[in-house]
Chains A and B, each alone.
Chain A
Amino acid sequence: MRKVAIVGGGLTKFGVRKATYKELAQEAGKAVFEDVPNLDKKDVDSLFLGSAASDRMAFQSYPAPLVAEQVGVQPNKVIMRTELACASGQAAMRAAYGSIASGLSDIALVMGVEKMNTPNMAETQTTMAAVMDREWDGVNGMSAPPFFALVMMRHMHEYGTTREQLGMVSVKNHDYSASNPFAQFQKKFTLEDVINSVEISKPIRLLDCSGITDGAGGIVMTSEDRAKEFTDTPVYIEGLAQCNMGSLVSNLPSLTTWKPMKKAFRAALMMAGKDIYDMAFAEVHDCFTIAEIIAYEDGGMCKKGEGGKFIEEGNPYVGGRLPVNTHGGLLGTGHPLGATSIAQTVEVIEQFRGEVPEERYVGGEWALTHNLSGNANVHSVLVFRRGG
């Protein structure tokens, strides 16, 4: 098995974009190739495209060759699209990792592209509801906000997590996204703003939710021996793990303890030979404020039920015990499903290179990214080491 490196990456501006799916792909391609100037497009032998719902939201099936043409590559080893809802981008990275580690691919372009804003928001909401078991959960109006509302109210009930503690997650992540040029929400909010924002699915309010976001991004992955051709600061993938348990909401082992998250964090860190507190920072999947609280707990940063206290005591901030979501998270930067993991990875690249603003700079040697997908029934984790 070859060691796998990420040598660069780039993103489009995230938000409600006046641009099509294909135009977002072009912008992301430009950003990637400008970040890796020594790479000749002809040497890209593989394309892995994370795209969760292009079929419905962009009315475009079979998007991988379409994106290849848009960015100007002609893969001759592997070309595929990966779909894993909110973790589609990390699924693409995982497929690229396997292909490079095995020696099948040498230089892979890994992209995430998502167009979510359409003239009719109910269309987008319909697509999101179909991420649930459409016939037995979606039919009851289940979608992401109601699911995480059930999780949040149970967590508050079982552990005494407070409205204020949940709100602090949103305030923190918007504080960081305010200085992130690609973020959908480059704006800070107060705790009062969060607690008084519009109700979406009780008890979840608007500022507990990540955005409905158009956006795209890409990274270049290659083997360790090729990495130095392209960068002085390669980012090595030292650990990776995934775990799935269940699908139907009624059958999940627990709403408030995410067993597959615990397993995926543990396995990825074990593969890297590291502990969670060896990480300089962690980018976790804060699709809703409650998801970040549970990530503190089931990601092993604090005891079960103490996620609220963990943020209240200042631990997940830059300068705290373990900075979480230094790029602003999904809450602050938006959540263009397939591109979300790519944005987290670009944050790791920029942190390791020292290219982020001083107020949210952490740097360090190790970092972790995490995505959940669907009704938190799949968790995907990557552990990175700074090379060079």
Chain B
Amino acid sequence: MPKIDLPYLLDFCPLQTEDFTRIHEFFTNLKEGKFTTTKCKSCGEILWQPRVVCPHCNSDEMEWIDLPQEGKLFAFTEVIHGAPLGMEDDAPFSIGIVDLEDPKMKVLARVDDAHYEDLEFGQEMRLKIITLEDGRVWFRWVRK
């Protein structure tokens, strides 16, 4: 059997350009160092992840707002075995949920440079923006 590269649609990371998604601005913002999401212009709800239609009031009028790039660690784990394709070589890696203060919301992401034993409840974390080999961007947490 020939070795098959991971097909694009089995890749976990979202397609990020204007051709594929209506929230491409999230990714261009991230490239510029800004962590953002959408806020509904009609009912004022802040939505995570970014949306094109508000699930509360059905409005499709959205504005982009900046999110804080730091927060406190709420829960965490370290994946030792069972990582999916494309992440097997990364294991062990940690994952954390971080509480943001304003707006109050939780953001889950990988936690870089820390094993489970290095992490504590309430620990101060900051966002780290990463660039994939093909130019796509994503975000992770690191200890402050």
Q: Known contacts being A139-B12, A141-B95, A251-B48, is A149 close to B85, with CB within 8 Å?
A: no
Asked whether any CB of chain A lies closer than 8 Å to the CB of B97, the reply is yes
Docked complex Cα distance between A147 and B78 (Å): 11
A150 touches B81 (CB 8 A): no
Chain A facing B: main interface SS: helix
Q: Which A residues touch B81, using CB under 8 A?
A: 198-201
Docked complex Cα distance between A255 and B96 (Å): 13
A129 touches B76 (CB 8 A): no
Asked whether any CB of chain A lies closer than 8 Å to the CB of B107, the reply is yes
Asked whether any CB of chain A lies closer than 8 Å to the CB of B63, the reply is no
A143 touches B82 (CB 8 A): yes
Asked whether any CB of chain B lies closer than 8 Å to the CB of A2, the reply is no
From the candidates B85, B105, B138, name the one contacting A126 in the complex (CB within 8 A). Answer: B85
Closest to A128 in B: B84
Q: Quote the shortest CB–CB distance from A102 to chain B (angstroms).
A: 31
Segment among A39-47, A130-138, A236-244 that sits at the interface with chain B:
A130-138
A250 touches B48 (CB 8 A): yes
Q: How large is the interface on B (under 10, 10 to 19, 20 to 34, 35 or more residues)?
A: 20 to 34
Q: Which A residues touch B88, using CB under 8 A?
A: 122
From the candidates A121, A135, A137, A202, name the one contacting B108 in the complex (CB within 8 A). Answer: A137
Q: Known contacts being A143-B82, A201-B77, A202-B77, is A251 close to B106, with CB within 8 Å?
A: yes
From the candidates A141, A154, A203, name the one contacting B79 in the complex (CB within 8 A). Answer: A141
Q: Which A residues touch B12, using CB under 8 A?
A: 129-130, 134-135, 138-139
**Per-residue A-contact encoding for B97-118, CB less than 8 Å = 1, 0 else:** 1000000011111100000100
Closest to B98 in A: A250
**Per-residue B-contact encoding for A313-356, CB less than 8 Å = 1, 0 else:** 00000000000000000000000000000000000000000000
Q: Which B residues touch A203, using CB under 8 A?
A: 77, 116
Asked whether any CB of chain A lies closer than 8 Å to the CB of B93, the reply is yes
From the candidates B85, B86, B90, B108, name the one contacting A142 in the complex (CB within 8 A). Answer: B108
B76 touches A122 (CB 8 A): no
Q: Which B residues touch A198, using CB under 8 A?
A: 80-81
Q: Which B residues touch A138, using CB under 8 A?
A: 12, 84
From the candidates B10, B95, B107, name the one contacting A146 in the complex (CB within 8 A). Answer: B95
Q: Quote the shortest CB–CB distance from B136 to chain A (angstroms).
A: 10
Q: Quote the shortest CB–CB distance from B16 to chain A (angstroms).
A: 10
Q: Which B residues touch A123, using CB under 8 A?
A: 85
From the candidates B10, B14, B78, B86, name the one contacting A201 in the complex (CB within 8 A). Answer: B78
Q: Which B residues touch A126, using CB under 8 A?
A: 10, 84-86
Closest to B6 in A: A126
Asked whether any CB of chain B lies closer than 8 Å to the CB of A66, the reply is no
Asked whether any CB of chain A lies closer than 8 Å to the CB of B43, the reply is no
Q: Quote the shortest CB–CB distance from A289 to chain B (angstroms).
A: 15
Docked complex Cα distance between A200 and B77 (Å): 10
Asked whether any CB of chain B lies closer than 8 Å to the CB of A153, the reply is yes
B116 touches A202 (CB 8 A): yes
Q: Which A residues touch B95, using CB under 8 A?
A: 140-142, 146, 150
Asked whether any CB of chain A lies closer than 8 Å to the CB of B8, the reply is no
Docked complex Cα distance between A121 and B83 (Å): 10
A250 touches B105 (CB 8 A): yes
Q: Known contacts being A126-B84, A250-B48, is A140 close to B78, with CB within 8 Å?
A: no
Q: Choose among A140, A250, A251, A255 the residue with the greatest number of B CB atoms under 10 Å from its CB.
A: A140
Known: A128-B84, A140-B110, A141-B90; 4 extra A-B contacts, CB below 8 A, are A122-B85, A135-B12, A154-B75, A250-B48
Q: What are some 25 contacts across the A-B interface (CB < 8 A)?
A: A122-B85, A123-B85, A125-B84, A125-B85, A126-B86, A134-B12, A135-B13, A136-B14, A138-B12, A139-B12, A139-B13, A140-B108, A140-B110, A141-B79, A141-B93, A141-B110, A142-B95, A153-B75, A199-B80, A199-B81, A200-B82, A201-B82, A250-B105, A250-B107, A255-B75
Closest 4 CB pairs of A and B: A149-B77, A126-B84, A135-B14, A139-B12
Using a CB–CB cutoff of 8 Å, the interface residues on chain A facing chain B are: 121-123, 125-126, 128-130, 134-143, 145-146, 149-150, 153-154, 157, 198-204, 248-251, 255
